[in-house]
Amino acid sequence: MSGAPLHAHVRFWRDPALPGVEARSSTYTRKAFRTHTHRACIISLVEAGSTTFSLENTRHTARAGHMVVIEAGRPHACNPDAGSGLSYRLLALDMAWLSGGFGGGAPRFPSPVLADAELFAAWGELHQAFVSGAPTGCKQALLLPCLHGLLSRHSAAATGPAAAPVQGITTTAAPAAAHPQDDSGVSRARRRIEASAGQWVPLGELAELAGLSPHHFSRVFKATTGLPPHRYQLQQAVERAKTLLCGGASICQAALEAGFADQSHFSRRFREFTGATPRQYLASPPAPLDEGQATGHSQPQPRIADQHG
């Protein structure tokens, strides 16, 4: 079964003053995801259990204490290993938050699994600021040094020493690159899908746009994007629904405007791609403050940027 277990603990937090940043906390005991992509860059903090996942046909293993970084648009499915369960905290960041770090381009991370205890703690503090409803200024003061530390230590553009490789990662050969002509056709088809705004685009139309037969187009599209055309269209519909929900739309309204025939179908597909129900995706209220926080949030002191800048 690929839908999120009904007993899974999944919560989300957002700050309207920090657009393009979303915090999440999840616990799963069995498979919750099918292969999917994100429009945002994903930074996960594994708190318990383990996951062995494929990222563009290369397998990786992450355990408690590891960070997992997955760039936008890279197909993957992080499910708990058999018998281990999986608990993690996650921050999803629009790529605009990262693209200004090195020459304005989108960074790449040679390894998606990072063993960096100090950075893990810093991102965990940022996540807790979202959970507790800390002021926007507090979150931003934590976010900027977190980004600096991640980019300077672990991105392909980093000039400083890299962290030690994570043990226990097994790999297989990466897929061959698509023919440039095919890739150009797939790019045109992807842009057509992404501009469809909740309207289903027939396979024949996409294949014609790419200059390929429907069968060949389907094969090349999956090799390039990691998803077959119909799954990619569903993914885009779910992403549109997420945007609508974040903007205040009701679940029913989001389903209709994203192109789903009914709310039941929408909920099922939403769970396949996000591991959460639409209702769970709606932002959770801040957690109660503990005794040390009751007198107000103090501004955190940047640490990562100062020590590794």
Same topology between domain 9-160+169-173 and domain 180-281: no
Q: How many CA atoms lie within 13 A of 27 on its CB side?
A: 5
- Angle at the Cα of 245 (from 106 to 228), degrees rounded to 5? 55
Q: How large is the angle between the packed helices 229-246 and 263-274, nearest 10 degrees?
A: 100
Express each pLDDT in 72-88 by its tens digit.
988 888 889 988 889 99
Q: How large is the angle between the packed helices 214-225 and 229-246, nearest 10 degrees?
A: 50
- Mean pLDDT over all residues of the chain? 81
Across the range 9-23, mean pLDDT stands at 93
**pLDDT at residue 168 in the model:** 35
- The Cα 157–Cα 101 span in angstroms is 9
**pLDDT at residue 95 in the model:** 87
Place of tokens 């989001």: 254
Alpha carbon distances (Å) from 221 to 74, 173, 196: 14, 19, 17
Domain boundaries, the chain: 9-160+169-173, 180-281
- The Cα 237–Cα 248 span in angstroms is 17
**pLDDT at residue 273 in the model:** 87
Cα distance from N-terminal residue to C-terminal residue, the chain: 46
pTM: 0.79
Express each pLDDT in 156-190 by its tens digit.
854 344 433 333 333 332 333 333 333 578 999 99
CATH for the stretch 180-281 = 1.10.10.60
- Name the DSSP letter for residue 16: T
Write the DSSP string, 109-170: -S-SEE--HHHHHHHHHHHHHHHTT--HHHHHHHHHHHHHHHHHHHSTT--SPPPPPPTT--
* 64 pLDDT more than 50: yes
Of 47-61, 192-206, 283-297, which gets the smallest average pLDDT?
283-297
- The phi and psi torsions of 290 (rounded to 5 degrees) equal -80, 175
Across the range 215-229, mean pLDDT stands at 92
CATH for the stretch 9-160+169-173 = 2.60.120.10
**pLDDT at residue 96 in the model:** 87
**pLDDT at residue 285 in the model:** 72
- The Cα 179–Cα 167 span in angstroms is 34
Place of tokens 């060949």: 216
Place of tokens 């007198």: 295
How many C-beta atoms surround the C-beta of residue 59 within 10 A?
Answer: 12
